[in-house]
Chains A and B, each alone.
Chain A
Amino acid sequence: MNGAQPMRLAAGGAIDRARPLGFTFDGRAYAGFAGDTLASALLANGVRLMGRSFKYHRPRGPWGAGAEEPNALVELRTGARREPNTRATVIELFDGLVAQSQNRWPSLRFDVMGVNGLFAPIFTAGFYYKTFMWPASFWEKLYEPIIRRAAGLGRAAREPDPDEYDRSHLFCDVLVIGAGPAGLAAALAAARSGARVVLADEDVRPGGRLLAEAHEIDSAPGVLWAERVAGELAGMANVTLLARTTVFGLFDHGAFAALERVADHLPEPAPHQVRQRLWRIQARRAVLAAGAIERPIAFGGNDRPGVMAASAVRAYLHRWAVLPGRRGVVFTASDDGWRTADALLAAGASVEAVVDARPDPPAALMRAAGARGLRVHAGAQVVGTHGHLGLQAVDVRLPSGSSLGIDCDLLAVSGGWNPTVHLASHQGAKPVWDAALAAFVPGRLPEGLAVAGAAAGRFTLAACLADGAEAGRAAASACGHAAAPLVLPRAADEPAAQAAFFHVPGPRGKAFVDFQNDVTVKDVKQAAREGYRSVEHAKRYTTLGMATDQGKTANVVGLAILAEATGRSIEATGTTIFRPPYTPVAMGAIVGHHRGRDFRPARHTPMHDWAAENGASFVEVGPWYRAQWYARPGEKGWRDSVDREAEAVRRAVGVCDVSTLGKIEVVGRDAAAFLDFVYTSMISTLPVGRVRYGLMLREDGLVFDDGTCARMGPERFFITTTTANAGRVMQHLEFCHQVLKPAMDVSFLSVTDRWAQVSIAGPRSRDLVAMLVGPGVDLSTAAFPHMSAAEVEVCGQVPARLFRLSFSGEMAYELGVPADFGDALMRHIMQVGAPLGLVPYGTEALSVLRVEKGHPAGGELNGHTTARDLGLGGMMSRKKDYVGRRLAERPAFTDPARPILVGFKPVDRGQELKSGAHFLDPGAEARIENDQGYMTSVAFSPALGHSIGLGLLARGRERIGQQVRAYDPVRNRDIVVEVCHPVFIDPEGDRTRG
């Protein structure tokens, strides 16, 4: 059925009738026009049943025509792009759009979950707090699964999102939020005075309420004025217009967040186009001109499809040329509602009655209505509605108390306007109740923010224009821009009184306050009766305002009912807290490009490509990718490769890329004294050209990091850190300098990425290094002993730094060259080293070698260990003060019963050790009281032919030679191990010093 659109008016509206668009809803094909929303197009097709409610599965149609919509939520798109809970009122129609209703089974028209309505007498506010308690185990097994399945609304996509998102920043003098009459006037005033202006509006077109009303400005349709102003703004270099952009949060210090829907109006984004963009806008001043949202009135059956906000009815008529019903009734507590009657009449619909809850509506309105022959019931109320899946009639209670039934298919409800104060409250200021206005208006404003127009409670058009212009001028002038003359356009001050009328006493049927969460007047009253009298208690007990719309239509009505039920004023009752985001924001938009592999930057060493070419498997180490091992053809698993690499180092020579180690240059007159202060051992006595192993403690006395410290000159040191702590050590040094030792002349430069560094280890390392640095450098142990440093050249041309250091226990060197030469250096080393039996080795073999040597590393430097625990107590100088010294002497840290570092071997040498196993005495019960420590690192030692481990064991040194249990229940393991010295290979260090 294409093209029929029975409820579309013959003319008018901001739709493009030359561009028909086809779409489906629940599998049925319909047609609409460019400019439609899904809701307007469905209404044009005579479809007003669009969803089911959360708890009672009541049939629902659109209540509103904009972002506040609580009812008409659909699943938009399919597959990986499925978007549940999408408000039909803000979905711009596109050709081929596919939408489905949600939270119903088997179909929208017939939903068996509708039986929930029968249990409504039980399903009252907070009923679940009172039951489902017995027996306890049934909660997870029975009750909760049923509740979870029934709850929720739509279905989330189950595949990764195929679309891209972007994050961007904007800086401006004046941010104007909302491009209705007030916002446009503000933006124009500010822009003409030369300020840098950003004007953002969630709608695709500028105009705000002007798009929905028949207002005139300067004796022409208001929309034309809006277009003209927007046109002028678009032509100004100092203005950025953001359409389809919702400013959704105000954060500290004038930071706004906004979401631009770049491609949501398309079937899918064009190639290389993002779907949405997150803007972070830093504004010196902002004008909130976000308008107002019409509030509902709670009466029996006020949720039936066909009951709509009076302002939404006008929007459908004027903007989309859609007749939301043929026989209308208006139920209002405001002057504004009356205009809907006029609009319906003008569109050719009948208006059966205007029911004004106020006993004496303005005489002018009464007169005008009389002139049109409208039937008016003043002081009357709609108490109930009829109809199955849509409205068929309403019951009106007349002032006399008698009841009147009126057949109708549309009930336009106007409870008055609530200023859209949300952003003004995101910084915590609560809005204040303005009794004269019968509305909450912004309270104390965050610095730099002004509120203009309807958002400030100025509901008439002329007032909005004047207010906006003044706010724009003031904002620009606060940024130092002199005001430019601005002639205010002419507009009327239409009647705009509204009453504080929120619900109809004695409703027939359920009277909903929060449509989406199915919260009724009764629920709110019950909450009050049960002691949930604080507005926050009532909210949390009933779930009022906690749905996806966050109570945009519900909250004020709800708190007014609560005020009444508790005998307090609305003012004393107050609002709940307004929180970002103003409207729901897709998480993808917040994340932008930082997803999948691009979550965090990948750091590659200069030798990365070489390693990849040579069979390396890489492992994530913080942001780095490090070569773990280099597989050779024929090797069956990683162990083969690692064993071979470790053996080669012990037998001949290996090369390992250690570029990821943190490297910091420490220079200055006080560099040596400063390093004395941050390292446990004395550094100042280190001669130039020598290296010392250094240990840093945290302020609390526990081990922070270890590394080497080389003195390259009297006032220049080059220190290394572990890969993991490179950034933290740099921070620590800066902290110690700037906060603890500000008078010292010392500075730090992180050079981790500036040097490509390799470790060359093994009995033949000296031969290899000699070939690299040339005959000019005397590498003999006498001239260049263990723990030496020198500046050298590689291949006679590349400046390099050479250190004689060992982690593996073999004679070993580290050679650093400027990063750009790293790749070439590696290739060169491999070439010249081949005859020596050189192999590259990765982090796994590195770890095997260091466990064999009993060097503490990551597993031991875990933030829980003291220097003494690790057998490094000897490095704690007694001759000077250093960070952590004093707190390291606290009783708990000097307790001789502390677990300390020892080595372990399986008693049955064929067994494998596992890190994370806990130690128990043989025969002791597996209870925490008997816990003796835990295994920190393990390796298979090719040199010894069995598994070895390091671990922290209570009184470990005294137990060498004894046996303990390595208890590992999470891996179903429990083996006996022998305690041994932590250095498994060459304990005297002869090979190192070689």
Chain B
Amino acid sequence: MRYSVFSLIRNAFSGHTDWPAAWREPEPRAYYDTIIVGGGGHGLATAYYLAKEHGVTDLAVVEKGYLGSGNVGRNTTIIRSNYLMPANTGFYEWSLKLWEGLEQDFNFNAMVSQRGVLNLFHSDAQRDASARRGNAMRLNGVDAELLDREQVRRMVPLLDMENARFPVKGGLLQPRGGTVRHDAVAWGYARGADQRGVDLLQNCEVTGIRVQDGRVVGVETTRGFIGARRVGLACAGHSSHVAAMAGLRLPIETHVLQAFVSEGVKPVLDQVVTYGAGHFYISQSDKGGLVFGGDLDGYNSYAQRGNMPVVEEVMEMGLQLFPAFSRLRYVRQWGGVMDMSMDGSPIIDRTPIAGLYLNCGWCYGGFKATPASGWCFAWTIAKDEPHRLNAGFRLDRFATGHVIDEKGAGTTPNLH
């Protein structure tokens, strides 16, 4: 059933008892042409685009928990394409374009809200770096504006412009950046994929990858062996150990990242704002809660929870920006496990094993990538070669030095 205000009203008369399930809960079949491991944003988007763009419908998504149980439902929902490195900018801009048409495309309101992403800067050097980035964006056809202090003050009235330790000197604004209701992205893609015949297999953990003569032949799961000609891995924070099942050792470390939400209040912040003298980002959800986060906890972990030192640091930065939020209470903190790559950029590529494809290394920026990641990964699987947009996200780039290091932080995953 198509979702619209009309179907909503129609269903109101029948007490909403006629809505079909958003997706089926099928039993695993013995064999699929293609299996995507990981029912997060990227896995579901990949399935959706494989079905929609490439007609691959003998397809299953295998998810160890419930759909969207990983980072797609834990992130701070920021989308943007304000990247510096050419290999990134084109890709993320394509993602943003897909976001812009996504809801009409998959008929699910994911509340894509292009409210603007404002990256603050606090020094002359940072202003220069922002200008460099903004100019690179403009060369890529992406929207970018360099704001001075007064423009920032007018745009975000609650910002502390008087008493901050590192005073705000201006900001780089991407007006088309914003936020998206994260769960809805997983659900929208899931529903769209299901409608096209994709089997979404929940509570089905991959425990092994079967390879014969250098070719993948299927996956062992907690619901039995499932054969497949092609297997795409989209396991985010679990990428290293799932890839290890096929004998691959990835240039990935897993780290925990926390996020926070405050009690709901009437509108106080209309944009996404990021701090420049530390790592902090904040926006206000449509429900009124301030959603914010900062740095990784810093240690390797598969636990989806963090500790107090980073909680303190993150909130310190929050109040640096918005001292009026001091009395606001936070109501929840959580964590997700991040696939931190060695240069802070992702990998979407084939692997040395025929039929096995890799999508990982999203660090904490992979939510915004979801549509383009799914789109490019679908292409890469369907054609057995990368699309131009993900051509830079190669697995072997660390060997050749063609790294895509936005921050210039080097091979220290927890600094990206």
Chain A residues at the B interface, C-beta cutoff of 8 Å: 54, 80-85, 121-122, 124-125, 127-134, 136, 139-140, 144, 147-149, 151-161, 163, 165, 167, 249, 251-252, 255, 257, 280, 426-428, 522, 526, 529-534, 536-537, 540-541, 543, 546-548, 550, 577, 579-581, 584-588, 590-592, 594-600, 602, 619-620, 698-702, 704, 858-859, 862-864, 887, 890-893, 914-918, 926-928, 930-931, 934, 936-937, 967-971
- Whether the Cβ atoms of B326 and A540 lie closer than 8 Å is no
Q: How far is the CA of A319 from the CA of B158 in the complex (A)?
A: 42
B342: nearest chain-A partner, CB-CB? A700
Nearest chain A residue, comparing its CB with the CB of B202:
A534
- A128, A132, A585: the one contacting B330 at CB < 8 Å is A585
Minimum CB distance partner of B130 in chain A:
A916
Q: Which of A54, A147, A280, A522 contacts B16 (CB under 8 A)?
A: A522
How many Å from the CB of A515 to the closest CB on chain B?
14
The reply to whether A918 and B139 contact each other, CB–CB distance below 8 Å, is yes
Sampled A-B contacts (10; CB under 8 Å): A579-B332, A700-B410, A704-B410, A890-B400, A892-B401, A914-B131, A916-B134, A928-B136, A934-B136, A967-B135
Given the complex, which residues of A lie within 8 Å of B25, measured CB to CB? 531, 533
Q: List B contacts of A154 (CB < 8 A).
A: 265-266
Bound Cα distance from A969 to B145, whole angstroms? 9
B134 to chain A, nearest CB (A): 4
- Contact B316 A139, beta carbon cutoff 8 Å: no
Task: Knowing that A158-B158, A926-B139, A930-B139 touch, tell me 18 more A-B residue pairs with CB under 8 angstroms.
Answer: A84-B263, A122-B8, A129-B3, A130-B3, A130-B8, A131-B3, A136-B101, A151-B286, A152-B287, A156-B268, A156-B325, A541-B183, A543-B287, A600-B165, A620-B167, A862-B129, A863-B405, A916-B131
Q: How far is the CA of A595 from the CA of B178 in the complex (A)?
A: 27
Which of chain B's residues have a CB closer than 8 A to the CB of A858? 125
1/0 per position for B297-324, CB-CB distance to A under 8 A?
A: 0000001110110011001111110011
**Do B123 and A161 touch across chains, with their CB atoms under 8 A apart?**
no
Given contacts A131-B8, A916-B132, contact A698 B326 (CB under 8 A): no
B115 CB–A CB distance under 8 Å: yes
Of A139, A580, A917, A927, the residue contacting B111 (CB under 8 A) is A139
Is the pair A148, B267 in contact by a Cβ cutoff of 8 Å?
Answer: yes
**Residues on A with beta carbons closer than 8 Å to the beta carbon of B90:** 928
Cβ of B113 under 8 Å from chain A: yes
Q: Name the residue on A nearest B135 (C-beta).
A: A918
B118-135: which have CB < 8 Å to A?
Answer: 122-123, 125, 127-135
Chain B residues, Cβ within 8 Å of A155: 265-266
A547 vs B408: C-alpha distance in the bound complex, in angstroms? 40
Encoded as 1 (CB less than 8 Å from any A CB) or 0, chain B from 62 to 95 comes to: 0001111100010000000000001001100000
A914 to B407, CA, bound (A): 21
Min CB gap B410→A, angstroms: 4
Collect the chain B residues with CB atoms within 8 Å of residue A579's CB: 305, 332-334
A968 CB to nearest B CB, Å: 6
> In the complex, are the beta carbons of A918 and B136 less than 8 A apart?
yes
Q: Which one, B22, B111, B265, contacts A153 given CB within 8 A?
A: B265
Q: Which residue of A534, A698, A704, A892 contacts B400 across the interface (Cβ within 8 Å)? A: A892
Is B403 located at the chain interface by the 8 A CB criterion?
A: yes
Q: Does B264 contact A (CB under 8 A)?
A: yes
A619 to B409, CA, bound (A): 24
Q: Decide: A151 near B135, CB < 8 A? Known: A124-B16, A892-B402.
A: no
In the complex, whether B144 has a CB less than 8 A from a CB of chain A is yes
Asked if B288 is at the interface of the complex by the 8 Å CB criterion, the answer is yes
Rounded to whole angstroms, the CA-CA distance of A828 and B263 in the bound complex is 58
**B265 and A84: CB pair below 8 A?**
yes
Q: Complex: how many Å from CA A928 to CA B13? A: 55
Instruction: Flag if B135 contacts A916 (CB, 8 Å).
Output: yes
Whether the Cβ atoms of A427 and B305 lie closer than 8 Å is yes
Q: Which residues on the B side are within 8 Å of A547 (C-beta)?
A: 264, 331
- The reply to whether A134 and B329 contact each other, CB–CB distance below 8 Å, is no
Size bin of chain B's contact surface: 35 or more
- Asked if B248 lies at the interface with its beta carbon under 8 angstroms from chain A, I say no
Whether B328 is near chain A, meaning CB under 8 Å from some CB there, is yes
Is B112 part of the contact surface with A, judged by Cβ < 8 Å? yes
Do A149 and B266 touch across chains, with their CB atoms under 8 A apart?
A: yes
Tell me which residues across on chain B come within 8 A of A588, comparing CB atoms: 319, 326-327
Task: Give which listed residue, B145, B264, B318, contacts A54 with CB less than 8 A.
Answer: B264
B115 touches A147 (CB 8 A): no
Give CA–CA (A893, B17) in the complex, Å: 63
- Asked whether B128 lies within 8 Å of A581 as measured between CB atoms, the reply is no
B162 → chain A, closest Cβ, in Å?
9
The residues of B that contact A82 with a CB separation of less than 8 Å are 327
Query: In the bound complex, do residue B331 and residue A969 qualify as a contact, i.e. CB atoms below 8 Å apart?
Result: no
Q: Which listed residue (A129, A251, A699) contacts B411, Cβ 8 A?
A: A699
Q: A22 vs B402: C-alpha distance in the bound complex, in angstroms?
A: 71
The 4 closest A-B pairs by CB, nearest first: A863-B408, A916-B131, A152-B288, A890-B401
**Interchain CB contact under 8 A, A590 and B165:** no
Quick one: given A548-B263, A916-B132, are A586 and B327 in contact (CB under 8 Å)? yes
Asked if A581 and B331 sit within 8 Å, CB to CB, the answer is yes
Residue with the highest number of chain B CB atoms closer than 10 Å, among A533, A862, A970: A970
Collect the chain A residues with CB atoms within 8 Å of residue B21's CB. Answer: 529-531
| CB < 8 Å neighbour of A700 from B132, B407, B411 | B411
Q: Bound state CA distance, A101 and B303, in angstroms? A: 41
Q: Are A587 and B319 in contact (CB under 8 A)?
A: yes
For A139, the chain B residues whose CB sits under 8 A away are: 111-113
With A698-B411, A916-B131 already in contact, the answer to whether A599 and B320 are too (CB < 8 A) is: yes
A862 to B125, CA, bound (A): 11
Contact A698 B410 (CB under 8 A): yes
- Cβ distance A850 to chain B, nearest Cβ, rounded Å: 14
Q: Give the residue name and chain of the A residue nearest to B334 (CB).
A: A579
Chain A residues lying within 8 Å of B212, measured Cβ to Cβ, are none
CB < 8 Å neighbour of A136 from B67, B68, B100, B307 = B100
Report the bound CA distance from A626 to B167 in whole Å. 15
With A139-B113, A584-B331, A591-B319: A148-B326 Cβ-Cβ less than 8 Å: no
> Residue among A133, A594, A968 with the most chain B CB within 10 A?
A133
Q: Nearest CB to that of A863 among chain B residues?
A: B408
Q: A129-B184, A599-B165 are in contact. Are A81 and B327 (CB under 8 A)?
A: yes
CA distance A700 to B303 in the complex (A): 29
Tell me, in angstroms, the Cα distance from A917 to B127 when the chains sit together. Answer: 12
CB neighbours of B165 from chain A (8 A): 596-600, 602, 620
Q: Which of A83, A128, A580, A702 has the most CB of B within 10 A?
A: A580
Q: Determine which residue in A147, A534, A700 has the highest number of CB atoms from chain B within 10 A of its CB, and name it.
A: A700
Q: Which residues of B contact A149 (CB under 8 A)?
A: 266-267
CA distance A575 to B387 in the complex (A): 42
Q: Please, what's the 1-or-0 string for B276-288, where 1 marks a CB less than 8 Å from any CB in chain A?
A: 0100000010111
- Residues from chain B with a CB closer than 8 A to the CB of A619 are 123
Tell me the complex Cα distance, A252–B278, Å: 25
A587 and B324 within 8 A (CB): no
Please, how many angstroms separate the alpha-carbon atoms of A918 and B134 in the complex? 10
**Smallest beta-carbon distance A882→chain B, Å:** 16
In the complex, what's the smallest C-beta–C-beta distance from A528 to chain B, in angstroms? 9
Contacting residue for A156 out of B13, B22, B328, B397, CB 8 A: B328
Cross-chain contact B5 with A131 (CB below 8 angstroms): yes
Asked if B146 is at the interface of the complex by the 8 Å CB criterion, the answer is yes
* Most chain A CB within a 10 A radius of its CB, from B5, B131, B141, B312: B131
Expressed in whole angstroms, the minimum distance between the Cβ of A669 and any Cβ of chain B is 30
CA distance A928 to B318 in the complex (A): 35
| A599 in contact with B316 given A140-B115, A579-B334 (CB within 8 Å) | yes
Instruction: Known A84-B265, A153-B288, A426-B305; judge A971-B146 contact (CB<8 A).
Output: yes
Q: Kindly list chain A residues whose C-beta atoms are within 8 Å of the C-beta of B31.
A: none
**A859 x B128 contact (CB < 8 A):** yes
Our pick among A54, A148, A701 for the contact of B286 (Cβ within 8 Å) is A148
B351 on interface, CB distance cutoff 8 Å: no
Q: Are A927 and B128 in contact (CB under 8 A)?
A: no
Cβ of B103 and Cβ of A136 under 8 Å apart? yes
B138 at the binding interface (Cβ < 8 Å): yes
Q: In the complex, what residues of B have CB within 8 A of residue A597's CB? A: 163-165
